[in-house]
A and B are shown apart, each in its own frame.
Chain A
Amino acid sequence: MNDEQRTQPDDVPHQQSETRPEHGEGPVQPCQWPVAAVAGGGAAPPPAVFRELRERFPDLPLTEQTTADGIPTAWIPREQTAQVLRYLGREAAEPFAMLYDLGGVDERERLHREGMPDAAFSVFYHLVSYSRNADVRLKVALPEERPEVDSVAGIWPAAGWYERELWDMFGVGVAGHPQLKRLLNPPWWDGHPLRKEHPSRGTEYGPFEMSEDVFDEMQEQLRFKPEEWGLPRTEDDPTLMYLNIGPQHGATHGPFRVVVGLRDEEIVHLVPDIGYHHRGSEKMAERQSWHTYIPYTDRVDYLGGVTNNLPYVLSVEKLCGIEVPERAQLVRILLCEAFRIASHLVFYGTFAQDIGALSPVFYMFEDRERLFDDVIEPITGGRMHPNWFRIGGLAEDLPTGWKQPVLDYLDYLPARLDEYDRLVMDNRIMKARTVGVSAITVDEAVAWGLTGPMLRAAGLPWDWRKQRPYSHYDWFEFDVPVGTTGDAYDRAAVHVEEMRQSLRIMRQVVEAMPDGPYKAFHPLTTPPAKEPHTMHDIESLITHFLGVTWGPVVPPGEACIYTEGTKGQYSYYTISDGATSPYRVKIRTASFPHLQVLPKLCTGYEIADLVTVLGSIDFVMADVDK
């Protein structure tokens, strides 16, 4: 099967067609495969940011690449990377202050590389500018032997972990990185997993053995050695105590390890260690078909359910040029907002519990249970991981009688939220524990790549649902709650208010829900109808057969669509090489940078504040480790 998946779509019957199927036409549209070259942007004028770069660096060889998502994308030579990125990130007027994503691609097996420079590996830098509401993706081509880029951690502190991940996953060196160690894989790991030659399932290895020696060596490598992190040893500084917290600890919300250097109870050093929840979600994408990867996305932010499906299916739809019917889009919003509430309720309860309040978590789980029972389960049939969105629409239509339970829940929750305000947010001990703890400014938050409630709590009213509406979010009225100081209290307060706004959106969606198909009648997502096509026409029959056996063959291209997930900004940077499975999927999750900033947030505070901060960040380890 694996070999078959690798075959190229040239075997697939192509039919040239100029007309894109439009929604509402019903299942009688002819079966067509879109032309590969059509998918992706047209011939637009060069983006402003590239004009700016050419003015600033007249000799810069800038190889532009057209991508399906329309994000300005260009290849720059490796030698000038640091210079160009420094200009964009720091020196430019209205700089690209956020390093949104950074990752690698193994280009060696990629067939459709028209117009791109030769490369064995490439590294992409995805930058976002809030002041311009614009983004840019710069790529660097690297050779097979000793690939290396320069560190950009000096420009964006957020780059630290992304560069370690790059080294870990691709073996791409990062010159000038202070601690270039493995991040997600254990230090003894052999090979770089996201390289194409690395095995992707256990049966590709020999039988598993672990001798006593290896076991002891692995244990020894887990021992915290401060000198490896540039920290003083306790022998040299007797007033210092290193305390290992995790990976199994009640406050870490999953397998997360953090080593704190304490002086009395004050945190003077803090070293987070992640990777204990790493499951290789990105590697798995490369061997799943486009559709069968959707359930894996559910489990990335496992509290977010379908909100994880959305950025993935949006990207694939963009690659395929699928227009999703209105009804499907609104159901998506409805479910996403329901899951936002479910996720925030977990946040709210565990936040209170981390500060020592025992009871609230039970109330909030009760509310979440109702949401699952009354809204999510009747519609999707699933609870936490419903695997409900499909490329081009939804798995099924809304069930009969879905409306009243949703409206009942919308009436039920606000009173409960008001009560929790009195119990939790107005509590004086709660305020004493959270107000002023680990405050962060907007500039710092942006530089560290914080998004979602973390960014809004710092004071920037930025919500992708407002700024770049997707799935018709612009049809609905809602406010974007912001904090002022970005401290733990503000972060919690923003979460709480977002639940109210989600309820508002849900009510409007319920009222506005149009009739119509729940999925697009696009040949890449819906098999041709049996009558009058499949049963009479051999081409349709072949297409039908391929569609249900292989799944769709997505045209070559690249797309990355942002969504405002439960915890921040999410995207699946999806690269198709015209095959039945993705060539590369880079998952950008919100929790990853949110946890990276922990040393900055906690240093100078007490050990009890570490727990407060962890509670206020709203991270999920599966979301961090992927």
Chain B
Amino acid sequence: MAWYWQLLIVLGVLIAALTIAAGLIWYERRLLSLVQDRYGPNRVGPAGLLQVLADTVKIIFKEDWVPPFADRRVFVVAPSLVLITALLSFMVVPVAEGWVVIDLDIGLLFILAMSSLAVYSVVLAGWSSRSKYSLVGGLRAAAQMVSYEVFMGLSLIGVVALAGSFDLGDIVEAQEGLWYVVPQFVGFVVFLVAGLAETRRIPFDLTEAESELVAGYHTEYSGMKFGLFLVGEYVAITLFSALIATLFFGGWLGPWLPGVVWFLIKTFIFITLFILIRGTFPRPRYDQLMALGWKAMLPLSLLNLLITGAIVVARAG
């Protein structure tokens, strides 16, 4: 593959991911407003589209302030981690046939690894702020993300077993006849729930829990450092929507339209789902979240793995 083509894909994915994440701020605000009987931002530019730009300019020009009591170095590094890990994960997501930054054999494992690293961002942010609200938020984040990672990984093993590969491109191609959402429906549900928990979205936004913890782990953050957490969250939403589309709904596969369009359509459907869930659900308590994880999700994904494994072995046998 020519180097310029490679560079184009790298830049294309990077810009597309960041643009979608920024656009999501507008999309989420407008969509939530529709759900909630109000208009949302509709003043800046056509349909309020330039609101994102206005917000970005504002947030960049804010004073770059570090609280005097915070652990300065860690405090500064933490927000960038969340964005970096989410963006790196996009490297292995195939946008269309052959359109992928790097075709890793262990693509799925790479994404899980990056997702584990993202936990550090939240925990370190909470820890280095040296504020009690941040600390509680950070501790909740550590517990929540580590536990939900366990069965997020397990829920995907079924897909891997069916496709026989960790490579996301291979997984998409293996869904030519039947999308994996059908044989792996349980895996899909578990992954969706885990995705909500990993992106710290309602109903699993206990790490922020604005009615209890003010803003949880990023209480002390402001300006662009806060902006990085925000963008990181939206990139993560985009990533998980793209992953659901890729792993369970056939990625770029689809009739008539070009692959990349199919991929974007499917991704946007799940992004919308994430936002609608936010507009609908209340928040469970911390111990209930843990109970759901370990007592429902984990057995469910193990059972799914067992049955899938048995079928795969029987077929091969």
Residues of A at under 8 Å CB distance from B?
241, 243-244, 249-251, 265, 352-359, 362-363, 366, 423-424, 427, 429-430, 432-433, 606-611, 615
- How far apart are B257's CB and chain A's nearest CB, in angstroms? 34
Contact A358 B36 (CB under 8 A): yes
- How far apart are B284's CB and chain A's nearest CB, in angstroms? 5
Contact A251 B211 (CB under 8 A): yes
| A608 partner residues in chain B, CB cutoff 8 A | 206, 209, 212, 283, 285-286
Contact B282 A433 (CB under 8 A): yes
In the assembled complex, B287 has its CB within 8 A of some CB on chain A: yes
Selected A-B contacts with CB under 8 Å, 5 pairs: A243-B133, A355-B283, A358-B278, A429-B284, A608-B206
Q: Roughly how many angstroms separate A265 CA and B133 CA in the complex, as a whole number?
A: 12
* Given contact pairs A357-B282, A366-B37, a sample of 20 additional A-B residue pairs in the complex whose CB atoms are under 8 Å apart: A243-B133, A244-B132, A265-B286, A354-B211, A355-B211, A355-B282, A356-B202, A358-B32, A358-B36, A423-B280, A427-B281, A427-B282, A430-B282, A433-B283, A433-B284, A608-B209, A608-B212, A608-B283, A609-B285, A615-B211
- How far apart are A419's CB and chain B's nearest CB, in angstroms? 12
Contact with A along B247-269 (1 / 0, CB 8 A): 00000000000000000000000
The 5 lowest CB-CB distance pairs between A and B, nearest first, are A356-B283, A362-B36, A357-B282, A355-B282, A356-B282
A353-B211 contact in complex given A265-B136, A362-B38, C-beta closer than 8 Å: yes
| B210 partner residues in chain A, CB cutoff 8 A | 250
Q: Roughly how many angstroms separate A429 CA and B209 CA in the complex, as a whole number?
A: 15
- How far apart are A556's CB and chain B's nearest CB, in angstroms? 50
In the assembled complex, B19 has its CB within 8 A of some CB on chain A: no
In the assembled complex, B203 has its CB within 8 A of some CB on chain A: yes
| B220 partner residues in chain A, CB cutoff 8 A | none
Contact B286 A429 (CB under 8 A): no
Contact with A along B181-223 (1 / 0, CB 8 A): 0000000000000000000001101100111101000000000
Q: Roughly how many angstroms separate A610 CA and B285 CA in the complex, as a whole number?
A: 11
CB under 8 Å from chain A, chain B span 22-50: 32, 35-38
- How far apart are B278's CB and chain A's nearest CB, in angstroms? 7
| A423 partner residues in chain B, CB cutoff 8 A | 280
| A352 partner residues in chain B, CB cutoff 8 A | 282
Contact A356 B203 (CB under 8 A): yes
Contact A243 B132 (CB under 8 A): yes
| B211 partner residues in chain A, CB cutoff 8 A | 250-251, 353-356, 611, 615
| A244 partner residues in chain B, CB cutoff 8 A | 132
Considering only CB atoms, which chain B residue lies closest to A609 in the complex? B285
Contact B285 A606 (CB under 8 A): yes
Q: Roughly how many angstroms separate A606 CA and B209 CA in the complex, as a whole number?
A: 14
Contact B281 A429 (CB under 8 A): yes
Contact A606 B286 (CB under 8 A): yes
In the assembled complex, B288 has its CB within 8 A of some CB on chain A: yes
| A609 partner residues in chain B, CB cutoff 8 A | 285
| B36 partner residues in chain A, CB cutoff 8 A | 358-359, 362-363
In the assembled complex, B279 has its CB within 8 A of some CB on chain A: yes
Q: Roughly how many angstroms separate A589 CA and B295 CA in the complex, as a whole number?
A: 45
Contact B37 A251 (CB under 8 A): no
Considering only CB atoms, which chain A residue lies closest to B205 in the complex? A356
- How far apart are A493's CB and chain B's nearest CB, in angstroms? 16
| A429 partner residues in chain B, CB cutoff 8 A | 203, 281-284, 288
Contact A432 B288 (CB under 8 A): yes
Q: Roughly how many angstroms separate A423 CA and B280 CA in the complex, as a whole number?
A: 8
- How far apart are B286's CB and chain A's nearest CB, in angstroms? 6
Q: Roughly how many angstroms separate A362 CA and B214 CA in the complex, as a whole number?
A: 20
Considering only CB atoms, which chain B residue lies closest to A366 in the complex? B37
Q: Roughly how many angstroms separate A297 CA and B307 CA in the complex, as a whole number?
A: 68
Q: Roughly how many angstroms separate A608 CA and B285 CA in the complex, as a whole number?
A: 6
